Structure 1
Amino acid sequence: IIYDELMNNVSYLMSFFSQHAMNVIGIFAEEQTLVLQIVAGVLHLGNISFKEVGNYAAVESEEFLAFPAFLLGINQSRLKEKLTSRQMDSKWGGKSESINVTLNVEQACYTRDALAKALHARIFDYLVDSINKAMEKDYEEYNIGVLDIYGFEIFQKNGFEQFCINFVNEKLQQIFIELTLKAEQEEYVQEGIRWTPIDYFNNKIVCDLIENKVNPPGIMSILDDVCATMHAVGEGADQTLLQKLQMQIGTHEHFNSWNQGFIIHHYAGKVSYEMDGFCERNRDVLFMDLIELMQSSELPFIKALFPENLQADKKGRPTTAGSKIKKQANDLVGTLMKCTPHYIRCIKPNETKKPRDWEESRVKHQVEYLGLKENIRVRRAGYAYRRVFKKFLQRYAILTKATWPSWKGDEKKGVLHLLQSVNMDPDQYQLGKTKIFIKAPESLFLLEEMRERKYDGYARAIQKAWRKYMARKKYVQMREEASDLLLNKKERRRNSINRNFIGDYIGMEEHPELRQFVGKREKIDFADTITKYDRRFKGVKRDLVLTPKCIYLIGRDKVKQGPEKGLVKEVLKRRIEVERLLSVSLSTMQDDIFILHEQEYDSLLESVFKTEFLSLLSKRYEEKTQRKLPLKFSNTLEVKLKKENWGPWSAGGSRQVQFMQGQGDLVILKPSNKMLQVSIGPGLPKNSRPTRRNITQSQGYSHRTQSQNYPMRAAPPPPGHHQNGVIKSPQFVPHPHTPANQRAGQKNLQTTMVRPPLPQQLSAGSDKVSHQPESLDFLKVPDQGAAGVRRQTTNRPPPAGGRPKPQPKPKPQVPQCRALYAYDAQDTDELSFNANDIIDIIKEDPSGWWTGRLRGKQGLFPNNYVTKI
């Protein structure tokens, strides 16, 4: 009971999977029922058995006829009639006569089996056709087909099945020869290419031995003739076949016979076939009577499975298994000949089907009969690449200007021009009548690499232009967004309102000692060296770093103990998470001071790039908190101090910063006990916005436009004007009638606090990098070096002695200057230098900004920081 239930469940699952598969390929439910109904009819046909009555066949039990007749939609009596007899047409004296021939038991069994095979085959073809229609598309396209068949079979006992399989393999081997060996060598002859022919075995003679129809007839034709003459019994038919084979093809060089069969010399070697069962397996007794019976079915679906025209096909004999295989093999060959096949040759290492079992003789034999050695010889002696001139020119036209976008003239000359332009060795190619042939794959790789370089160069140019455009657009947007933060709230510095945003002014990638404090995957949004004021308003340098998560303040302290005692090391002074900021306070004037308010204590900072920093900080704060960063503007600001470690009675306290109207663009700091007074002159109006202008750079230096009369930002004063971190008040009082911009250009500016404005335009100019055409020198013969020079000088006469050594060419004299103070560059086009550095002067400009060169770098520097030597 359990077994029956299990089998029922398995049958149900298999039926479910089959019906689901038919649903997927689009077969309707009615047709699915008919498919299963025909399969059931085939199974019930197998239950019909025959008995002998008076030397003729009769159905043993007619009750087994009813159900298959019902399933197939045919009349039961007609099914009985067609299984035990058949109609035979004959002609005599120009008249046709129809005779009803009664079958014996053996013939009736063949007829029953032939009907079952036909129904099963037609259903199988219907399903395959349905799958193809489901996968078919409305448009034509290229496709890749994979053909996997049985390999060559040589068993201890080989019969009709092995004969058919080996015949198909023989046909496929012929295609391999036609397309790889024969066709390739014939192509060289047609194109007039110098070529040494390679000998190979052409197996067409074996294919003709099997499938020829006449002169002499092939094995399959003789087999069909013998099967056609078989009548009542099949005994002795195999021996009759062997005798006819010996008579008609016994002298063929690839055929031998023996007492129980025959031998064929296939391309894979000699194979002996036993005759027992050859004729019986070849017979396919699907007479016209059975086709007519199926066409009389009441089911249109079954009628459609048998579309033969009986009136036209009555004259021919029924097809056999061998003739069907031959037709299918030839159709397959015709299909493959229209394609470009690629071969995967599988080598069988042993007969034991075990790993690491290698039979060398067997492997060698397979390599030989598969024609791999001949194929390798042809490929090695031949050309790895061939292409018609037109397509070759189209693919590699980009390599030269003469061929791009199209070659004007004879295509063959254009191909030759391309090959000469890349300095390809003439031994590596030949030009045929319509095609170019390239011998080594390396030569083709050279062309492909140069083509990729060309496309890569043009792609980079396009990318560069696009990125430049997007960066310019982004910088303009960033300036406008940053300006909106301060719009109508704070005066702007005329020297910085239009400057470019760089972001990383320190170069964090080159300073791992700073990068160690930042997370490995954190992006650097902003980095700059700023001034931080303590509780006594003493200014100290700090590195301010902003990432999407945190703000870092990094300082430097001297190590007090340990092996590195006395060394100055970077120390993380403070780390503030962006979302923990409470607000940022600024004044309404043009100064660079701002306060970061946090729950624990505040930080009083000064940075000339405060606008850029605040715009980036505002974005990150909004990303983290979904709120706008609170910005407070007032001329009286309060700074909450950090608690000192004096025990539980220690208090942090607070300090005030008061901003007052002063003169000039430089801040003047006056600290007192708990207050810092900051005075600075008026800046641009609060409603000032950055002007849109082109952002162009050449060699890393910004061009000053003709309309720009001021520096990009204010310069720090020379050293010596600080006391306790606070800038002293200037001792120099300008003449009341002298304009500020003229005062900045006067001599002896070393004694003042005011730095001269930036020049209107770089006097020396910055030459743009010229884009030279791509050099092909790497394709030329390499430099022979010392060995080559020695070879060239062996035949020369010795030079005359005593000739004086030529004097070295004097170096060009350029004016120089010595730095009086150290200067840190505040923009990308300026020079940084230390005191006593010697700078080459390239250009002196009356504006006060000179162009110089130091340690290989060229840039601008203020002339009030140097003295000429």
Structure 2
Amino acid sequence: TVRNNNSSRFGKYVEMQFGAGGQPEGGKVSNFLLEKSRVTSQNPGERSFHIFYQLCCGTDQQTKRELGLVQMELFLYLSGGGSHKVEGTNDAYDFNETLKAMSVMGLGEQQQSDILRTVAAILHLGNVTFTEKGNYAEIATPPSLQFTAHLLQVEKEQLSSKLRSRKFDSKWGSVADSIDVTLTLEQATYTRDALAKALYARLFDFLVKQVNEAMQTRVEGNSIGILDIYGFEIFSRNGFEQFCINFVNEKLQQIFIQLTLKAEQEEYVAENIKWTPIEYFNNQVVVELMEDRNPPGVFCVLDDVCATQHAVNRGVDIDFQKKLNNAVNTHDHFSLTREGFVIRHYAGNVSYTVEGFCDRNRDVLFLDLIQLMQSSNNAFMRSLFPDEFAAAGKTKSRPTTAGSKIRSQANKLVDKLMACSPHYIRCIKPNENKRPKDFDSERVHHQVEYLGLRENIRVRRAGFAYRRAFAKFLHRYAVLTKETWPRWTKDVRQGTEWILRSVGLDGSHYQLGKTKVFIKAPETLFLLEEQRERRFNVYARVIQRAFKKYFAQRQKERQKAEAVSLVHGKKQRRKYSINRYFTCDYIGLDSKPGLQNLIGRREKVVFAETVKKYDRRFKVARRDLILTSKALYLIGRERVKRSIWYSWQDPNYQEVVKRKIDFDQIGDVTLSPLQDDFVVIHLKNDYDSLLEIVFKTEFLCALAKQYRANSNRDLPIRFLNSCEFRVKKLAWGGGGVRTVKFVESSMTNQAVLTTSGKTLTVTIGPGLPADSRPVQRVIPTMTRAPHRPAAAVRPPAPARTAPPPPPVTTIFHPRGSIRAPPPPSEPAPPNQPKLQRVTPSQMNQVLAAAANKQILLNVSLRPANKPKPELPDKPQLPRCRALYDYSAQDLDEISFKEGDIIDLIKEHEGGWWTGRLRGKEGLLPANYVQKL
């Protein structure tokens, strides 16, 4: 149209159907008020339906030849408005989108071809013109007639006959006769246009039916309906279509008034709410003017004129104008004009032109045309006109007019909307020029006024933004107070008032009706929702904390069980580590970005610990062992002179990857059956690594998991008292094999290392038996607690004896600070004086005597002038003696000789201690020294 380049020109009610779980299951489309007259004629500056222009522009040359398509300007049905191109519209592209949409709906190629054939037939039918010969119509364009018959697949002579004549049935007494009546030029033109509009309307209904079949569902549940309909239309020339559209808008405005302005104020009165009534315009009088039967409205007068209309159409619209003036001229919202009449709608005064009212209201499709289409050789054409000839031939009632159909559809739509809970979206056009950033204040003000938005806002401002039944309000916000949660056993009105007062609201913010609570400002509702969300957030955190604790404990127990299964019955265990939980990261990688950069931030770290690495001469070097989901890293430190990459602790060294071991390179892993911490990682085609890992069981479990995940087979693990491993080849003739022997001795509990040539002997005391298992901690089963009403008064507990004390169970705690249990309560000493009740006068005497005694004590116990005591000696640090020579491998380590006495500053769990020797502090290996 001149106001909208993409106006659908029909109303639709779309229902989205949802299942029980809230998932969309299907949909349904109901269409009404299709503007069929636009097929044959358009107002100046307007176009017909898009599909006609898309067909002319988007089809290929072969299809154009088959359908006889030519330039759009040569089709009479597309030339009425004088506009063929629209700025911003690509008809060729939109045609391809239309074909895709038909494919999505499930239409096959043959059906799509029949649809396009029907559209082309309508265009060619419009080019069939007539000439007058002896007051009768004759075909003036036989080629157009012939091609139309070809597309419709009917006989050319039959089509010509049905367009120029019609069969008239007469009955005189018991004798029935049928004669052919030749049509005039005006009647033949009407018959042609009626067939074109019928073809388009039935084709449109067919497509809507296909859409509904594509979205059909058998699930019965809730639905959301969207009504998209014409807005109120006021043009320079308004005809029958604008009258019908404005009538439907009046009906919808009546629903809006009924459900918002009128119903809301009536609800306040019914609930005894203090309220000041607001005046508004009720358009019921306008609806009665248009559709009432007694007194007759505009539709009734129009149907009566069409029923008495004879073959000649000339002057029938003037007759309708006169009869309408006689019927409703006294109505306050009606007035007569020269070319028609004026109705005072809720949106303003609209002047209608009566020309064409009767013709478009009749909407009669002669039975001859229906019979013609049923004789088509195309099954699709016949399906558009199913069984209507026989049904229509038997009826004797007055034919249904377009006005009566519109009234029936509008009333059904109103009934459907009244059964729902409507929500309104008011569309306000900023201008009539279809241009952005153009705001017409006068036009916008007019729309705000006639849409009733001002009255609606006044009602909302003066009224209450939220209302809810007491029971529903209490159910939603009972969690805000401990008195109403989880159950309120008293009256729901009292519970509602208790909640409102508990959040600090006074009576000016709400009112209590008979059955509902009314809240005035939306900010009050936001306050309630915020407090409700906070309360649920607190409860959610409690549940989340319990769940996390439960599953974390269960996961840790599962990890311990998996790790034990690898060494059970094969290796002795340490009594201080068998029951500990796994931590995975013993280095603190989160605070060491340098190490993260070396291994890559995207690699998942599974295990990390500072370990001891032994070289070919069995010298110790400290390494950071990091196990990821992709490889095993050994990271050490190297001296640097000038580099921008340096450690923040010491600018003279930096971390480097000393070795990276992929999982496919690992052949097997060897451990001893004793309680020592040595692990040998054997590689397939490279030298091996001898490591001393304090948390070896956890490391072994993590390595076995990653090995299986990457190679899809179990990690080979051996437990031997003597193990050979290959060392790195540093020079010609280097390399070779070294041996590690493990000896059990009851003389020491710490690992003692002795070297002899290419053999390292590890002597260590006995540990826990190899078949030892960690103590199973009891994880409480997650059960649902029974629901207890909070408001119910609990009965007094019956007298019962105290339960027996629990059995004493020895639980091995992990390393760390262990709090001592509280001391047991001791019995009262013998000859303890009995306590007696003291009167207030006796208490005053006691306090006075105590005060005098305190004064005497203060005087007699005053200390004499004594010499200042000497300072105590500084505490001596523990010391240790070096058992072997050790040369520092890193700058933060210290070197020492056998027999040196070292001050021990701190003992670490990783096997490295911090000590001081000759004024220098540093790290030293714990198995190289012995505490004094």
TM-score (norm 1): 0.69
Q: Secondary structure at the match of 1:327?
A: helix
Say if 1:99 and 1:566 are closer, same or farther in 2 by CA, change over 3 A. closer
Structure 1 counterpart of 2:233:
153
Rounded to whole Å, the distance in 2 between the matches of 1:161 and 1:541 is 92
Q: What's the offset of the Cα at 1:509?
A: 2.2
Q: Secondary structure at the match of 1:84?
A: strand
Q: What's the offset of the Cα at 1:557?
A: 6.9
Q: Secondary structure at the match of 1:611?
A: helix
> Any stretches of 5+ residues in structure 2 without a counterpart?
1-58, 70-91, 781-805, 824-874, 879-903, 917-929
Say if 1:543 and 1:272 are closer, same or farther in 2 by CA, change over 3 A. same
Rounded to whole Å, the distance in 2 between the matches of 1:339 and 1:184 is 16
Say if 1:82 and 1:289 are closer, same or farther in 2 by CA, change over 3 A. farther
Structure 2 counterpart of 1:261:
340
8 Å CA contact 2:167–2:181 kept in 1: the answer is yes
The share of aligned pairs that are identical, in percent, is 49
Q: What's the offset of the Cα at 1:611?
A: 0.5
Rounded to whole Å, the distance in 2 between the matches of 1:90 and 1:135 is 53
Give the AA of the match of 1:235.
Answer: R
* 1:203 alignment partner, one of 283, 293, 297: 283
* 1:136 alignment partner, one of 216, 222, 226: 216
2:198 is aligned with 1:84: no
Structure 2 counterpart of 1:777:
none
Structure 2 counterpart of 1:637:
723
Rounded to whole Å, the distance in 2 between the matches of 1:42 and 1:444 is 59
2:672 is aligned with 1:571: no
* 2:610 alignment partner, one of 529, 539, 548: 529
Q: What's the offset of the Cα at 1:110?
A: 4.0
2:64 is aligned with 1:7: yes
8 Å CA contact 1:494–1:683 kept in 2: the answer is yes
Say if 1:350 and 1:62 are closer, same or farther in 2 by CA, change over 3 A. closer
Which is further off, 265-274 or 41-50? 41-50
Structure 1 counterpart of 2:741:
658
The residue correspondences of 1:274-285 to structure 2 (distance < 5 A) are 274-285=353-364
Structure 2 counterpart of 1:707:
809
Structure 2 counterpart of 1:498:
579
Structure 2 counterpart of 1:443:
524
The residue correspondences of 1:146-545 to structure 2 (distance < 5 A) are 146-215=226-295, 217-286=296-365, 302-305=385-388, 308=391, 314-315=396-397, 317-534=398-615, 537=618, 539=620, 541-545=622-626
8 Å CA contact 2:154–2:375 kept in 1: the answer is no
Alignment coverage as a number of residue pairs: 721
Rounded to whole Å, the distance in 2 between the matches of 1:49 and 1:170 is 39
8 Å CA contact 2:129–2:140 kept in 1: the answer is yes
Q: What's the offset of the Cα at 1:31?
A: 10
Rounded to whole Å, the distance in 1 between the matches of 2:566 and 2:101 is 65
Q: What's the offset of the Cα at 1:486?
A: 2.2
Q: What's the offset of the Cα at 1:7?
A: 0.8
8 Å CA contact 2:164–2:183 kept in 1: the answer is no
2:865 is aligned with 1:763: no
Rounded to whole Å, the distance in 2 between the matches of 1:363 and 1:623 is 68
Residues 746-802 of structure 1 deviation map (CA, whole Å, 9 limit, x = unaligned) = xxxxxxxxxxxx97x84159xxxxxxxxxxxxxxxxxxxxxxxxxxxxxxxxxxxxx
Give the AA of the match of 1:708.
Answer: T
Structure 1 counterpart of 2:692:
606
Residues 440-467 of structure 1 deviation map (CA, whole Å, 9 limit, x = unaligned) = 3333333334444444444444444444
Give the AA of the match of 2:671.
Answer: L
Rounded to whole Å, the distance in 1 between the matches of 2:178 and 2:389 is 24
Rounded to whole Å, the distance in 2 between the matches of 1:112 and 1:561 is 97
Structure 1 counterpart of 2:14:
none
Which is further off, 402-411 or 286-295? 286-295
Q: What's the offset of the Cα at 1:616?
A: 0.4
Rounded to whole Å, the distance in 2 between the matches of 1:537 and 1:447 is 72
Give the AA of the match of 1:266.
Answer: H
The residue correspondences of 1:616-695 to structure 2 (distance < 5 A) are 616-638=702-724, 640-642=726-728, 651=734, 655-663=738-746, 664-671=748-755, 674-694=758-778
Say if 1:160 and 1:396 are closer, same or farther in 2 by CA, change over 3 A. same
Rounded to whole Å, the distance in 2 between the matches of 1:711 and 1:48 is 101
Which is further off, 649-658 or 368-377? 649-658
Q: What's the offset of the Cα at 1:631?
A: 2.9
Q: Secondary structure at the match of 2:344?
A: strand
Structure 2 counterpart of 1:586:
671
Say if 1:305 and 1:416 are closer, same or farther in 2 by CA, change over 3 A. farther
Rounded to whole Å, the distance in 2 between the matches of 1:656 and 1:3 is 86
> Any stretches of 5+ residues in structure 1 without a counterpart?
697-703, 716-757, 766-816, 836-864
Residues 585-617 of structure 1 deviation map (CA, whole Å, 9 limit, x = unaligned) = 322211112233456554433232111011101
Q: What's the offset of the Cα at 1:352?
A: 2.6
Which is further off, 240-249 or 111-120? 111-120
Q: What's the offset of the Cα at 1:692?
A: 3.0
Q: Secondary structure at the match of 2:335?
A: strand
Q: Secondary structure at the match of 1:624?
A: helix
Rounded to whole Å, the distance in 1 between the matches of 2:142 and 2:531 is 82
8 Å CA contact 2:579–2:813 kept in 1: the answer is no
Give the AA of the match of 1:418.
Answer: I
Say if 1:554 and 1:52 are closer, same or farther in 2 by CA, change over 3 A. closer
Say if 1:554 and 1:441 are closer, same or farther in 2 by CA, change over 3 A. farther
Give the AA of the match of 1:519.
Answer: G
Rounded to whole Å, the distance in 1 between the matches of 2:914 and 2:495 is 58
8 Å CA contact 2:614–2:690 kept in 1: the answer is yes
8 Å CA contact 1:123–1:305 kept in 2: the answer is no
Rounded to whole Å, the distance in 2 between the matches of 1:506 and 1:89 is 109
Q: What's the offset of the Cα at 1:503?
A: 1.3
TM-score (norm 2): 0.65
The residue correspondences of 1:557-568 to structure 2 (distance < 5 A) are 567=651
Q: What's the offset of the Cα at 1:405?
A: 5.0
Give the AA of the match of 1:151.
Answer: G
Which is further off, 488-497 or 66-75? 66-75
8 Å CA contact 1:668–1:680 kept in 2: the answer is yes
Structure 1 counterpart of 2:848:
none
Q: Secondary structure at the match of 1:472?
A: helix
Q: What's the offset of the Cα at 1:222?
A: 2.5
Q: Secondary structure at the match of 2:577?
A: coil
8 Å CA contact 2:571–2:672 kept in 1: the answer is yes
Rounded to whole Å, the distance in 2 between the matches of 1:182 and 1:607 is 83
Residues 443-501 of structure 1 deviation map (CA, whole Å, 9 limit, x = unaligned) = 33333344444444444444444444443343333223222322343222233223222
Q: Secondary structure at the match of 1:144?
A: strand
Rounded to whole Å, the distance in 2 between the matches of 1:240 and 1:39 is 36
Residues 138-174 of structure 1 deviation map (CA, whole Å, 9 limit, x = unaligned) = 2322222322223232223222222222222232233
Rounded to whole Å, the distance in 2 between the matches of 1:21 and 1:560 is 72
RMSD: 5.0
8 Å CA contact 2:569–2:771 kept in 1: the answer is yes
8 Å CA contact 1:578–1:621 kept in 2: the answer is no
Q: What's the offset of the Cα at 1:710?
A: 5.8
Say if 1:277 and 1:9 are closer, same or farther in 2 by CA, change over 3 A. closer
Q: What's the offset of the Cα at 1:136?
A: 3.1
Residues 813-838 of structure 1 deviation map (CA, whole Å, 9 limit, x = unaligned) = xxxx99866445759xxxx9999xxx
